[in-house]
Amino acid sequence: MTEGNFVDYVKIYVASGKGGKGSSHLHREKFIEKGGPDGGDGGRGGHVIVRGSKNLWTLFHLKFLRHVKSGHGGDGGSSRSTGHDGEDKIIEVPLGTVVKDKETGEVLFEITEDGETKILARGGKGGLGNWNFRSSTNQTPRYAQPGIPGEEVDVILELKVLADVGLVGFPNAGKSTLLSVLTSAKPKIADYAFTTLKPNLGIVAYRDFQSFVIADIPGIIEGAAEGKGLGHYFLRHIERNSTLLFLVPADAADIKKEYEILLDELRRYNPEMLDKDRLVVISKCDMLDDELQAELKVQLDKDFKGTEFMFISSVAQQGLTELKDKLWKMLNA
């Protein structure tokens, strides 16, 4: 999937159908000049429904959809015939979609399962026909209810990618390269910051035909939680990951400081992210000889007390099997 086709944020105006009006018809036929009331009820207005689909990965199909309106209910008729219900409109979304009210920012609901449906705007109820208002003291009511108007709401659809492992790191830390060697994904890779502008997903094939999903998001910089760089647009994509993989390059000026900055940005964005399982991976270790790597390990043992870390090289294919084993163990702990 190209970057331009990945859409994770859309705004849509939705309006459900109004209910049909009830009929105030009086029964008439040959030899019956003054029959009683027989007006039917109006039909229900159509709903606007959101449905989850496992076959969708992005909101791209909704990118140019600005308005969604369902059908109006039909009016009631004679002989107590009820009007037809308005046509429902169904909006299909990928799993992990959050629906918010545009005005208040309130989360209305989330779609996390295939086939799950939620009514976004409920159709108006049809009005009652005059048949319902007959009584011993009013045997020929000549009035009926109008239909109830539908609902209108401006909503925001936000996609939070559903992945098992989220890659967290500064720009140019090697996240896309790691994704490309662990999975069959083909992210854009280049030697400059912010090469990745959209999240990338890849499926890691593991032993015995098992697999897990890993997500690479655009690099986070210091101040991302306040809106600097691109990270604040995509931090929501790692909210659902059960395990976070922090990627710090071996040539970083201060590995511990980079890790602490990343950790602090996640804490400021959502403190609950710190409750997730974490693994620190030192990438580009092919730049280190055995002696330098041993010295760095001694230093990191002191710096990362209680936090596991390991060395890998995506280019030289070093430590990747051990990394997959470790991630699988963490995911199934």
Q: Are 157 and 62 in contact (CB under 8 A)?
A: yes
Q: Is 73 annotated as a binding residue?
A: no
Q: Are 286 and 316 in contact (CB under 8 A)?
A: yes
Q: Is 148 annotated as a binding residue?
A: no
Q: Is 136 annotated as a binding residue?
A: no
Tens digit of each residue's pLDDT (9 = 90 or more) over 213-231: 888 877 675 554 455 545 5
Q: Is 188 annotated as a binding residue?
A: no
Q: Is 173 annotated as a binding residue?
A: yes
CA distance 177 to 313: 10
Q: Residues 284, 290, 291, 297: is their CA dihedral positive or negative? A: positive
Residue extents of the structural domains in the chain: 3-159, 165-331
Residues β-bridged to residue 110: 98
Q: Kindly state which CATH superfamily the domain 3-159 is placed in.
A: GTP1/OBG domain (2.70.210.12)
3-state SS class at 258: helix
Q: What is the DSSP letter of 53?
A: E
Query: What is this structure's pTM?
Result: 0.72
Q: Is 54 annotated as a binding residue?
A: no
CA distance 171 to 159: 22
Distances (CA, A) of 112 to 52, 108, 140, 304: 7, 14, 53, 35
Tens digit of each residue's pLDDT (9 = 90 or more) over 107-148: 999 999 999 999 999 999 999 999 999 998 898 899 999 999
> How is residue 169 written in tokens?
């790191």
Mean pLDDT of 47-60: 92
Tell which residue, 67, 75, 47, has the closest CA to residue 151: 47
Tell whether the model's pLDDT for residue 193 goes beyond 50: no
For residues 184 and 190, which has the higher predicted lDDT (pLDDT)?
A: 184
Q: How confident is the model at residue 189 (pLDDT cuts 50, 70, 90)?
A: very low
> 165-331 architecture in CATH?
3-Layer(aba) Sandwich (3.40)
> How is residue 154 written in tokens?
């401006």
On the question of a common fold for 3-159 and 165-331, the answer reads: no
Q: Is 170 annotated as a binding residue?
A: yes
Spell out the long-range contacts of 64-69 with Cβ–Cβ below 8 A and sequence spacing 24 or more.
Answer: 65/10, 65/12, 66/12, 66/13, 67/12, 67/13, 67/14, 67/15, 68/12, 68/13, 68/14, 68/15, 69/14, 69/15, 69/16, 69/17
Q: Is 194 annotated as a binding residue?
A: yes
For residues 3 and 98, which has the higher predicted lDDT (pLDDT)?
A: 98
For residues 232 and 286, which has the higher predicted lDDT (pLDDT)?
A: 286
